Amino acid sequence: MKVSYIAIVIGLAVQSALAVPKFQPRRTSILINPDAQPDLPSPQNARLAGVTPANAGLNLNDIQGDILIGMKKKKELFFFFSINDAATFKSKLSSDIKSLITNTNQLLSVSTQPITAVNIAFSQAGLTALGVSDNLGDAGFQSGQFADAAKLGDAGTTNWVSGFAGTKIHGVFLLASDTVDNVNNELASLQSILGSSISEIHRVAGAARPGNEEGHEHFGFMDGISQPAVQGFTQNVLNGQATVAPGELLVGETGDSLQSSRPSWTTGGSFLVFRQLQQMVPEFNKYVANHALSVPGLTAQENEDLFGARLIGRWKSGAPIDLAPLRDDTDLANDNTRNNNFTFNHPEVPGFVFASNQTNCPFSAHIRKTRPRADLGSENTGHHIMRAGIPYGPEVTDAETSAQQSSTDPALERGLAFVAYQSNIAQGFEFMQEAWVNNANFIFGKTTPPGVDPIIGRAAGSAAETPRDISGTDPLTPTKKFSLDVEFVVSRGGEYFFSPPISALSGVLSA
Ligand code: HEM
Ligand SMILES: *[C@@H]1O[C@H](CO)[C@@H](O)[C@H](O)[C@H]1NC(C)=O
Ligand SMILES: *[C@@H]1O[C@H](CO)[C@@H](O)[C@H](O)[C@H]1NC(C)=O
């Protein structure tokens, strides 16, 4: 059962007595809560988890709210800016802006959520603009994402949004709420506080998709299901969930391999990887329809859906194909105690050969390339991220559906505003994208090389991004190759940021 979002508002009378109420208790949440996704801890449980001996000391009042909650926002605006006047910016940051920043505890209960949750993060160029010369210990962050484009497999940077090309972005505001009006009002007040001390470089407006598609990304698949359980935060670890030390996501905490050398003010912060990933939805649908499988006993539609599900590793509902290999199973999908409970290995099947058997799930499936589970022997590989993205852009139009082609109208661009948090970009996002997703031979030790990840994989360094070969997708002939001659996901670039602990906003960052 989901928590009922009816807040009992004790402080209402006091609040409304104020001339300009800074904070009005809300009745509906900023967050979505699909059955398929893990629940957040209650504030009480998060506190309990934080006092278990191994991980005492996570300060959920100081850790920015977006880091640990995952892909759950209803609306979220990413506002990328440069700093023109550091002195003015700092004077506002230390008090006016700081007081608007939302911490983790506030988001866990509807009654403590602000009207619009505000988070802030800085690029290396931003820290430099503020006169902060401390070395945060992260090479990717230091040089910025533009310098990383080739390593990530972006074929050149011709598709990059001009604002991301270079190091002109100093920071980003993440504004989350349940309505676009709330978000826009909050942006207007931030802009009036900061005036001409900042300039807009770029913005991306995200929103959960409408109706039954809530929680699903634009290709139609439920997202945000498999997220790491964080010691010191998550209380009820779900079956199949990877448990990570807080320091795998949070700088300076237990489990951060560079804990002893980080500047002390960074403790509880996290590196935020932003990517604007455009999705070519009609092209994806066309490719899937054209490559429908021919598994006996399935209808034509089921064979088409199965092909799509085998690219991701889950059905659109979110049910994992490792547990539901032939047909979707919505009961399984909506039960978060079962929908992540698999390893890809099947020792219970007599004669099952792990190195060659792709009957249930291809080695190349998106969720297997990004989290190989038992393929690596041990579940905990040290390469985990907390995904906190949100879809952006409008639904596919009828004209696009009938043309089987995405419109070139910039207003119709859609995709995933991808956000990933980790304490070490080289071990988190970069490792996943470069060493796993883009490596055609990964997962290693299999009898057939899997090829790249069909959703986000790129042959790094090659000038031409297509075609990309994958195998394993046809369960009847796992060695059969599919040539992906269309880009389903086009990188429009991004940036690497540091999401500082809130205390640093009135400390080092505004000194
Ligand atoms: C437009 C681009 C993308 C789409 C459409 C997409 C879609 C999905 C979907 C549908 C799932 C399964 C649901 C879930 O477990 O949450 C998933 C899982 C995942 N994705 Fe993506 N994704 C995209 C980009 C990325 C990128 C860039 C990365 C990292 C390099 C990534 C890493 C992951 C990880 C780690 C998981 C969870 C795997 C697991 O624990 O089982 N995704 N994605
Ligand atoms: C999780 O998977 C294990 C191993 O397959 C199984 O024994 C257990 O019953 C599953 N748990 C649930 C809740 O389905
Ligand atoms: C592969 O594994 C599935 C169960 O996951 C099993 O039904 C099938 O027989 C296996 N294939 C081979 C060739 O052993």
pLDDT tens digits for 41-73? Answer: 998 888 776 665 454 579 999 999 999 999 999
421-435, 461-475, 487-501: the lowest-pLDDT one? 461-475
Ligand 2 site: residues with CB under 6 angstroms? Answer: 239, 337-338, 341
Report the atom number in ligand 3 closest to the C-alpha of 325: 5
Find out whether the beta carbon of 367 lies less than 6 Å from any atom of ligand 1. yes
What's the whole-number mean pLDDT along residues 435-440? Answer: 95
| Domain definitions of the chain by residue range | 43-278+495-510
Query: Other CB atoms closer than 10 Å to residue 175's CB: what's the count?
Result: 28
Cα–Cα dist 249/385, whole Å: 7
The residue with greater pLDDT, 344 or 20, is 344
Pocket test for ligand 2, best of 329, 341, 345, 348 (most atoms within 8 A of CB): 341
Kindly report the average pLDDT of the chain as a whole number. 92
69-83, 116-130, 464-478: the lowest-pLDDT one? 464-478
End-to-end CA distance of the chain: 47
The residue with greater pLDDT, 43 or 129, is 129
Q: Which ligand is nearest to the CA of 431?
A: 1
Distance 352 CA to ligand 3 centre (A): 6
Q: Which of 178, 223, 329, 375 is catalytic?
A: 223
pLDDT value of residue 485: 87
What's the whole-number mean pLDDT along residues 462-472? Answer: 74
Report the atom number in ligand 1 closest to the C-alpha of 277: 1
Q: Does the structure show a pLDDT above 90 at 15? A: no
**Residues 252-267: b if buried by 16+ CB within 10 A, e if exposed:** bbbbbeebeebbebbb
Does the active-site annotation cover 328? no
List all residues 6 or more positions away from 217 whose beta carbon is below 8 Å from its beta carbon: 209, 223, 279, 391, 416
Distance 477 CA to ligand 3 centre (A): 13
DSSP 133: -
pLDDT value of residue 155: 72
pLDDT value of residue 458: 86
What's the whole-number mean pLDDT along residues 292-313? Answer: 98
Q: Which ligand is nearest to the CA of 38?
A: 1
User: Two tokens at 511?
Assistant: 């000194």
Cα distances (Å, whole numbers) of residue 507 to 91, 266, 327: 11, 11, 55
Find out whether the beta carbon of 326 lies less than 6 Å from any atom of ligand 3. no
Q: Atom 30, ligand 1: which residue's CA is nearest? A: 433
SS3 148: helix
What's the whole-number mean pLDDT along residues 279-294? Answer: 98
Residue 147 burial (C-beta neighbours within 10 Å; 0-12, 13-18, 19+): middle
Q: Atom 13, ligand 3: which residue's CA is nearest? A: 357
pLDDT value of residue 6: 37
pLDDT digits (tens, 9 = 90+) for 158-191: 899 999 999 999 999 999 999 999 999 999 999 9
Cα–Cα dist 110/103, whole Å: 13
Query: In 310-423, which ranges are E strands?
Result: 386-387, 390-392, 415-422
What's the whole-number mean pLDDT along residues 331-346? Answer: 98
Q: Does the structure show a pLDDT above 50 at 1? A: no
Angle between helices 281-290 and 300-312 (to 10 degrees): 120
What's the whole-number mean pLDDT along residues 487-510? Answer: 97
53-62, 81-90, 492-501: the lowest-pLDDT one? 53-62
pLDDT value of residue 61: 94
What's the whole-number mean pLDDT along residues 427-451? Answer: 95
Cα–Cα dist 508/180, whole Å: 33
What's the whole-number mean pLDDT along residues 204-223? Answer: 98
pLDDT value of residue 429: 98
Distance 340 CA to ligand 3 centre (A): 21
User: Two tokens at 370?
Assistant: 């990004």
Taking CB atoms within 8 Å and a gap of at least 24, the contacts of 313-318 are: 313/361, 313/362, 313/365, 313/366, 313/367, 313/368, 314/221, 314/222, 314/225, 314/367, 315/221, 316/216, 316/220, 316/221, 316/222, 317/36, 317/222, 318/36, 318/221, 318/222, 318/225
Distance 270 CA to ligand 1 centre (A): 19
Q: What is the pTM of this model?
A: 0.95
pLDDT value of residue 8: 36
Distance 341 CA to ligand 2 centre (A): 6
Contact 93, 500 (CB under 8 A): no
DSSP 494: E
